[in-house]
């Protein structure tokens, strides 16, 4: 069965991906910033018979990323999900830009996924897939203002991973970008349109069917190709 690594696995979409992949019989490395507080994830691991293990990884910290990846061993990774993220604040950024929040977002949302990919790169063989959670807010087609730090970090992630996709294509490694939907998580809120279960099901389906010819593409969670 496939071997899966998931950042941000303690809650929301990351947790649901871990749960669904485990239910499918896959080997899951669940990566969380603070495993000690990830109660639901630890409970899932406890009942998995060793098929799901929890590992510490703070994607904003290079040393933590390297240590977390090393803690998972040397097994080849079939699918790497870059899920970990933060939303920042939603104050009027034009009038008052919080540069600390801006910097934190770029550390987590742009540098973080690249750090994680680099740490697992020796274990990504031909046919492996790296699925990065982006957002429709980072696309140039998004018709609204605001969200300066969040939107620009997702736009940067898109451009970054498009470059990575080009460089990894000769190795047969697929790199994808996905808008996971407006999801009922701590970030999206209870009023959001879809559940984490629905989003994760869509992401898993996309990952399963993503081909090397589509590397670098940006899709919605439901399989619709998105311009950005």
Q: Sketch the domain layout of the chain as residue ranges.
A: 3-220
pLDDT at 81: 98
Question: Could you confirm whether 150 is annotated as catalytic?
Answer: yes
pLDDT at 155: 96
Q: Does domain 3-220 have CATH number 3.40.50.720?
A: yes
Is 178 within 8 Å of 220 (Cβ atoms)?
yes
Coil, helix or strand at residue 4: strand
Helices and strands (H and E) in the chain: how many:
7, 7
pLDDT at 228: 80
Determine which one of 81, 144, 150, 182 is catalytic. Answer: 150
pLDDT at 140: 86
- Which residues in the chain show pLDDT less than 50? none
Distance CA 81, CA 128 (A): 11
Coil, helix or strand at residue 185: coil
pTM to 2 decimal places: 0.94
Helical packing angle, 12-23 and 39-46, nearest 10°: 10
pLDDT at 92: 60
Is 40 within 8 Å of 15 (Cβ atoms)?
yes
pLDDT at 118: 98
pLDDT at 227: 83
């Amino acid at each position: 069965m496939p071997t899966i690594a998931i950042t941000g696995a303690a809650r929301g979409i990351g947790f649901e991906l871990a749960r669904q992949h485990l239910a499918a019989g896959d080997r899951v490395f669940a990566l969380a910033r603070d495993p000690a507080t990830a109660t639901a994830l630890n409970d899932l691991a406890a009942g998995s018979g060793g098929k799901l293990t929890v590992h510490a990884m703070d994607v904003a910290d290079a040393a933590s990323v390297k240590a977390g990846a090393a803690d998972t061993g040397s097994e080849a990774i079939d699918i790497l999900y870059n899920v970990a993220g933060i939303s920042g604040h939603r104050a009027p950024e034009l009038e008052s830009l919080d540069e600390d929040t801006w910097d934190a977002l770029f550390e987590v949302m742009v540098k973080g996924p690249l750090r994680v990919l680099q740490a697992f790169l020796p274990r990504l063989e031909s046919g492996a897939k790296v699925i990065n959670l982006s957002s429709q807010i980072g696309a140039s087609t998004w018709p609204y203002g605001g969200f300066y730090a969040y939107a620009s970090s997702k736009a940067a992630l898109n451009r970054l991973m498009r470059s990575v996709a080009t460089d990894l294509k000769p190795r047969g490694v697929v790199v994808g970008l996905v808008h996971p939907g407006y999801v009922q998580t701590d970030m999206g809120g209870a009023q959001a349109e879809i559940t984490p279960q629905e989003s994760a099901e869509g992401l898993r389906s996309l990952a399963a069917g993503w081909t090397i010819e589509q590397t670098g593409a940006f899709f919605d969670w439901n399989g619709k190709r998105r311009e950005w």
